[in-house]
Amino acid sequence: MKRNLFFMYSISFFQGMVFYSSIATLYRQAAGISVFQITVIESISLVLSLVFEIPWGILADRIGYRRTIIVCNILFFISKIIFWKAQNFADFLLERVLLAITVSGLSGVDTSILYLSCSEDDSQRTFGIYEGLGTAGLLSAAAIYMVFVEENYRVAGFLTVISYGIAVILSFGLKEVKAAQKDKRSSFGHAFTVLKETLFNRRLLFLIAGIALLREVNQTITVFFNQLQYTKADMSVRMISGVYILMTLCGLVSVFSAFFTKKLKPGFFGAILFLACSFSCLMLAFTENPFVSVFGILLIRVCFSLLSPLGTELQNKAITTSDRATALSMSTIIMDLLAVFTNLIFGKLADFDLSAAMCFGGFLCLLGVGLYWNGLKRIYR
């Protein structure tokens, strides 16, 4: 359904337009929220996301994916209104609680609609365009913020409310791709059956474990450790800001994922990306050069952006149950639990020595390529 693709692409673009993304921490601090309080809110949000994954997956398979998208996008819109008007810890916590509920609801549903609305051979390209347009929205919002908004944080919050309101309106243009279930199969008992199927689906487990490891290396290094690396390389705040824009731009390469996969094949292309990330981690561990540091960070970002659409396509191919949203929710839980474990190790190593944490990232990428390759062989055997 080309109609669905148009509306999902448009929703991705407008939901990418978070005008306060580059000053989110400053926005909260201006309202009197401390950094510690921000981390407490984030931790609560992560736990809630895990809690709501399975119930949302069950509900989505029961009521249909279109209705789920509409409900979640309305909640998304409400959360942005709360963020815009938030004045204290309780307000920002409420915003994050709603966000956790929304993200867990959309998890797997958006990609399921995309996957079922295009041909199987074109799904990777579809996922790449979807992610690329989200990045394009983020870049557009950043450009508008720099030129017109500057330090007026509340205006940035209001503009984000408008963009998410447009996304809600666009949601009603979607066509259903999965009929709502009228029987009682979509119960917690059935969800347990799907969980067992997922846990015994070794091709899916290998895939999501491998992809999860690279995802966490990307998230940890390009979001948190990058600033530590730049400081270690004696880079100025202005240089760091410029690199942030470059890194955001690198996310646009996801639209070329399908092209490279067809040229190099999924196994070889994926292996290259994993190994390139491992090389980057080791390079970052043993350098204090600013140019080498920037190159290493950007390379990790590019590799993950190229792998993400391919990984999403392979996860959908590996699913054997008709309850796709529930199965994808199970996959997300497994990936997030793995992330909690790796994050603890990353944090401990970084406290001891940043280079040790980077080496650990390189090890995870090598472990990830083995898991990815095993999962891939089971899909195409």
Split the chain (381 residues) into runs of 10 and give each run's mean pLDDT. Answer: 90 92 76 78 80 83 90 96 94 94 89 86 86 88 78 88 97 82 53 66 83 91 81 78 80 89 91 97 96 96 93 80 70 80 81 91 96 77 54
Query: pTM of whole model > 0.85?
Result: no
Count other Cβ atoms within 10 Å, centred on residue 131. Answer: 22
- pLDDT (tens digit per residue) in 291-321: 999 999 999 999 999 999 898 888 877 776 6
Q: SS3 string of 287-323?
A: CCCHHHHHHHHHHHHHHHHHHHHHHHHHHHHHCCCCC
Rounded CA-CA distance 142/281 in Å is 28
Determine the pLDDT at residue 182.
Answer: 52
Cα 122 to its chain centre, rounded Å, is: 21
Determine the pLDDT at residue 186.
Answer: 46
How far is residue 138 from each of residues 97, 160, 300, 310, measured CA to CA in Å?
A: 22, 11, 19, 22
Domain boundaries, the chain: 2-175, 195-380
Rounded CA-CA distance 140/120 in Å is 31
| φ, ψ (nearest 5 deg) of residue 205 | -60, -45
Handedness of CA 310, 311, 314, 316 (dihedral sign): negative
The reply to whether 2-175 and 195-380 are identical in fold is yes
What amino acid occupies position 377?
A: K
Residue range 2-175, CATH number: 1.20.1250.20
What amino acid occupies position 78?
A: I
Instruction: State the DSSP code for 183.
Output: S
b/e sequence 212-233, b meaning 16+ C-beta within 10 Å = bbbbbbbbbbbeebbeebbebb
Residue range 195-380, CATH number: 1.20.1250.20
- pLDDT (tens digit per residue) in 240-266: 767 877 888 898 898 899 899 989 989
Interhelix angle 354-380/324-352, nearest 10 degrees? 160
